[in-house]
Structure 1
Amino acid sequence: MTTDIPTLRQRLAAQSVIERLLPLGRSSLSSRGVARYLGAKGERIVGSILDSLPPEWTVLHALPIGARSSAIDHLVVGPGGVFTISTKHFGSKIIGVGKHGMTVSGRPVPSIRAAEFEAARVTTLVRERMPLVAPVQPVIAVVEPKQLIIHDRPEQVKVVHAGDLRRWLMQLQPVLTEPELMELDAIVDGPGTWRSRPDVAPGIAARA
């Protein structure tokens, strides 16, 4: 008898958001629902880009983490390291990036801080099994902005236009060996690694 063991590779980009929005339909969405719809669209676009990476890269989408419904948009493991990729689709707006924050049409959003926290959270989980692995790199992929202006680069977070994401990943210098990649692949693809984990710590703003 064959037993099918579910893995996280089976999840689709934006699966968590889509599952919440499907019963509503686009015409019934509130302004908050429209923002989620755009977010889901962005995740699908970035997911398609990441799925085109070579076989030595492991890509997971809508990674469930914590006791509630929070999910990491994308987790990528490859020769260049381990990356949490947060997709941001605000529509055709001007996105500004500074050393400590981001703005959308001049309005501050907590995306940088949230991305830093997300990567630190995954670093902690991975290091429970691989203590010496380098910290996870937080990345924000901005989808279809009117303009993406980098005033100053954040210290930890890489902010990149989604169209440049694949090229940026492929150009990174290798930092992981093949055995390390195999071990990391087994860790991140196991559902038991992620479930029943603490939710967002007090003081951390909701992701935008």
Structure 2
Amino acid sequence: MSGLRVSRWKRYGHDRLYVSTAEGAAVAWLDCRNGEVTVLAESHREGALEALRPYLAARRPEPPPTESGPAAERPTGEPPAPSASAEPPAPAAPRSPDARAAPGRSPAPDGVRLPSAPERARGSATAAPPLSPDDDLARNRPGESSQRKLDELGVHPAAHLFRRLLRLLRLRSDAESWHRGLQGERAVAAELRRRCPDGWRVLHSIPLPGDVALDHLLIGPGGVFCVSTESHPKAQIQVGDDVVKIGGQDYPYVRESRGEAAGAARVLSRACGFTVEVTPLLVFVGAASVTVEPALLDVRAVERRQLAALVAASGVLAPQRVEEVYAAARDRRTWADA
């Protein structure tokens, strides 16, 4: 086992088998309740899985005693023999660290040291559990929902006769609005692709019941943001506490973004098992200026080029929390009852 040892830890509602080095650094754990393996140090992946293999082979593994309990009757390091009648289950895919322990307490046995955030960033397995291609929203393209609407109208923005068709078919208000939205979502996605540092995750066109979709979901060290993209080229935009004023007209963007973020927070909190705070974020594309009412505190509003400053923020979510929220958010089934 390359010097790795296995020890049991039960606290704060968890029941785990930790694999650690001789120096006490945790490199992986097995959740005894659901069979999931979490790899903390990628360099020890093979050794950790080999050390856990005997416990994965049994339907109901008999873990070694806790370090504070009585000594085991069998020789140290000898794994429990699997039941003869047990059928080996398929082990869950290794995933990112669980961050659900009580605040300020390390979810590990005495003498076992969890790697720091930089150590996890250098060598952790942070892939989400496998999803079918149809359920993995990470595959969605920016503006996919808007493109689908245009396809339903029979209008193709890439065609050189697009605008002429709009006039001929009198679809200007609907189709051009969807086209402008599509271009805006793609522009915001491109900006995020350029500006987001490591540790941030982005999802696009998240489908919700009722044939609607969230434009983008941004998850990273600075928090979780429900992004609404609004395209108003060369407009002077005033963002108030409840509405957005553009050219003398009122738009309900602030109210809508609050509602979308609140819904996303409910869905993600339910899926993750802990409270997920989601900040509404309005991103305006092509605007000449964006002025925000100082009293507006719960909704962020920026011009597309200001996204770089927003994603530079940190200190809200730990890396393992980011991966947990992302894993839940990318699963289409999470949003089925949104």
TM-score, normalising length from structure 1? Answer: 0.86
Gapped regions of structure 1 (runs ≥ 5): 199-208
CA-based RMSD: 1.8
Aligned residue identity for 2:335: W
C-alpha displacement at 1:134, in angstroms? 4.0
With a CA cutoff of 8 Å and minimum separation of 6, indicate the structure with the bigger relative contact order: 1
Q: 2:243·2:254 contact (CA, 8 Å) conserved in 1?
A: yes
**In the aligned structure 1, how far is the partner of 2:321 from the partner of 2:131?**
26
SS in 2 for 1:85: strand
Gapped regions of structure 2 (runs ≥ 5): 1-129, 157-161, 167-171
Q: How many residues align?
A: 193
Structure label with greater radius of gyration: 2
C-alpha displacement at 1:191, in angstroms? 1.1
Mapped pair 1:157 → 2:291: no
Aligned residue identity for 2:155: L
Where in structure 2 are the equivalents of 1:84-99 lying within 5 Å? 84-99=226-241
Q: 1:74·1:86 contact (CA, 8 Å) conserved in 2?
A: yes
Identify the range of structure 1 (157-166 vs 30-39) with the bigger mean alpha-carbon deviation.
30-39
Where in structure 2 are the equivalents of 1:1-208 lying within 5 Å? 5-6=132-133, 7-22=136-151, 23-25=154-156, 26-27=162-163, 28-29=165-166, 30-52=172-194, 53-66=196-209, 68-170=210-312, 172-195=313-336, 197-198=337-338
Q: 2:149·2:178 contact (CA, 8 Å) conserved in 1?
A: no
C-alpha displacement at 1:54, in angstroms? 2.6
Q: Deviations over 1:47-104 (max 9, x none)?
A: 11112313311100011011x2100000011011111000000222211112222111
C-alpha displacement at 1:151, in angstroms? 3.7
Q: Deviations over 1:11-69 (max 9, x none)?
A: 11111111221431322232222122111110000011112313311100011011x21
Identify the range of structure 1 (77-86 vs 129-138) with the bigger mean alpha-carbon deviation.
129-138
C-alpha displacement at 1:131, in angstroms? 4.3
What percentage of aligned pairs have identical amino acids? 26
C-alpha displacement at 1:173, in angstroms? 3.0
Q: 1:140·1:159 contact (CA, 8 Å) conserved in 2?
A: yes
Q: Which runs of 4+ in 1 moved over 4 A?
A: none
**In the aligned structure 2, how far is the partner of 1:93 from the partner of 1:120?**
28
Q: 1:141·1:162 contact (CA, 8 Å) conserved in 2?
A: yes
